[in-house]
Amino acid sequence: MEKTKKYAWVMDALSKTPLPVKLRAMKKFLAGEKEYLPEKKTNADMDAIIKCSLCPNMCKFDCPVLEAEKNEALSPSAKMRIAYFIEKGLIGSEDSFELMYKCCSCDACRQWCPFEFSVGDILKGVRADIVEENKTPEKILEIKEKLEKNHIMDEKSFEVRGSRKGEILYFMGCVVQSKRKEIGEAMIKIFDMAGEEYAVMEEEWCCGAPLYNLGFINEFKEFAKHNVEKIKESECKVMICSCPTCAYIFKQIYPQFGFKIKAKIMHSSEYLFDIIQNKKIEVGSVEKECVYHDPCTLARKLGIEKEPREVLRNVGIILKEAYFNKKDTKCCGHGGQLSRTNPDIAEKIAENRIKELAEVAKCIVTACPSCKTAFENWEVYDLSEVVLMGMIE
Ligand code: SF4
Ligand code: SF4
């Protein structure tokens, strides 16, 4: 009743409007959706892009890219407005395309969003459309070409000559294989000391996250196909990943493309928590004050916050909490390929996060090889390294 009263003026105005005007208004209303959407079917979620473009954009205060660059065009909603014009074919400058890669896919916007949107996720569809239109910026194409040639990001510097079959398969990930071999070495020692029969792949390819993230969907599927076959060949029951992004891609993105893995997928923090609880290893000798940095993918996309903290307490670490922690963590800058697409922005984001962490403790512990790389000029350890330090033989 109240509603009818509120809109009574509309009925009044309509009844007084001449028929040709009424018909024109009705036609425009019905054609509206068509006019506002691109003619072609898009990979990008247009409904989300339009809603996000019209939003007051309050999530921008938590966007690390905007915080680092102080440029409103890089706020989540502004990126979506530009994405809208790209999808409608109204703009197509190189600058506008490059802007679509200035996001570390950290999901901080999702934390605030009334629609639970992640601009990082929406951008993946926009990038897939850019790929289909052959408009991909040169430096982005180079990342794909390098990956197709080497099958891992960056040069390999660490290899394990272990068994190819076993109950446990250790999936190292590109960053461990190229830059963070100390994490791989720690995990192998822990497996040995826990008496595990573990396997490693003869030819471990990237999980495909960079390809998926940058919109190269066909290439991503090739990588997924290769990995699923190799995982099956290993006959493993559990696959352990040092990198949260690998675990997330295997768990949540492969099935979306029809690639199913039978084995249980665990992040190393879950595995370490498990073997400590089940007394497969004994720990407890590290007395060090450390702050734990929650990797975005681990805390937000996989919801793993408790296990790493429990591991640290068991190891003897005096655990300090950052002001922005757990799901409210701040990105290290290396998410979403930002350190490769826009290294200058990634570096500023890392500096901002280090400042926050350094206020709490001198030593940082994290659970992601990319986060460790972002903080490499600081005293920083992966969870696996701390467990190894604290093991009682
Ligand atoms: S991500 Fe959500 S809160 Fe942020 S601008 Fe878009 S619609 Fe608004
Ligand atoms: S995912 Fe992160 S970097 Fe990207 S727009 Fe959202 S808050 Fe900004």
In the chain the first and final C-alpha atoms are separated, in Å, by: 77
Residue ranges matching CATH 1.10.1060 in the chain: 37-136
Q: How far is the CA of 351 from the centre of ligand 2 (A)?
A: 17
Chain centroid to CA 261: how far? 20
Q: In the CATH scheme, what is the code of domain 37-136?
A: 1.10.1060
The pLDDT of residue 11 is 77
Does the domain at 168-273 match CATH 3.20.20.70? Answer given as: no
Q: Which ligand 1 atom is nearest residue 76's CA? A: 5
The pLDDT of residue 157 is 81
| CB of 81 shorter than 6 A to ligand 1 | no
Distance CA 274, CA 268 (A): 10
The pLDDT of residue 373 is 97
The pLDDT of residue 241 is 98
Q: Read off the DSSP letter of residue 364.
A: E
Residue from 190, 176, 380, 180 nearest 288 by CA: 380
| CB of 74 shorter than 6 A to ligand 1 | no
Distance CA 341, CA 146 (A): 13
The pLDDT of residue 13 is 80
> Nearest C-alpha to atom 7 of ligand 2 is from which residue?
63
Q: CA distances (Å), 210 to each of 66, 214, 264, 292, 336, in order?
A: 22, 6, 23, 26, 7
Any bridge partners for residue 320, and if so which? 291
- The angle, 0 to 180 degrees and rounded to 10, between the axes of the packed helices 76-87 and 119-132 is 30
Q: In the CATH scheme, what is the code of domain 281-389?
A: 3.40.50
Distance CA 331, CA 328 (A): 10
- Give the count of alpha carbons within 13 A of 290, CB side only: 25
> Nearest C-alpha to atom 2 of ligand 1 is from which residue?
113
Strands (E) across the chain are located at: 168-171, 198-199, 238-241, 264-267, 289-292, 318-321, 363-366, 379-382
| CB of 314 shorter than 6 A to ligand 1 | no
The whole-model pTM stands at: 0.91
Scanning the structure block, which residue is given the tokens 């068994």?
163
Instruction: Give the full edge-to-edge strand order of the sheet including 264-267.
Output: 198-199, 168-171, 238-241, 264-267
Q: Which ligand 2 atom is nearest residue 76's CA? A: 5
Amino acid type, 57: N
| CB of 48 shorter than 6 A to ligand 1 | no
Amino acid type, 330: K
CB count within 10 Å of CB 137 equals 15
Residue from 177, 120, 139 nearest 300 by CA: 120
Residue ranges matching CATH 3.40.50.1860 in the chain: 168-273
| CB of 213 shorter than 6 A to ligand 2 | no
The pLDDT of residue 123 is 98
Per-residue pLDDT tens digits of the chain, which is 393 residues long:
566 677 787 778 878 888 888 888 777 777 766 778 898 999 999 999 999 999 999 999 999 999 999 999 999 999 999 999 999 999 999 999 999 999 999 999 999 999 999 999 999 999 999 999 999 999 999 999 999 999 999 888 888 877 889 999 999 999 999 999 999 999 999 999 999 999 999 889 999 999 999 999 999 999 999 999 999 999 999 999 999 999 999 999 999 999 999 999 999 999 999 999 999 999 988 989 999 999 999 999 999 999 999 999 999 999 999 999 999 999 999 999 999 999 999 999 999 999 999 999 999 999 999 999 999 999 999 999 999 999 887
The pLDDT of residue 29 is 72
Structure token pair of residue 369:
């090889």
Residue from 206, 87, 176 nearest 372 by CA: 176
The pLDDT of residue 6 is 72
Q: How far is the CA of 103 from the centre of ligand 1 (A)?
A: 14
| CB of 75 shorter than 6 A to ligand 1 | no
Asked whether 129 and 87 are in contact (CB, 8 A), the reply is yes
The pLDDT of residue 161 is 78
The pLDDT of residue 1 is 57
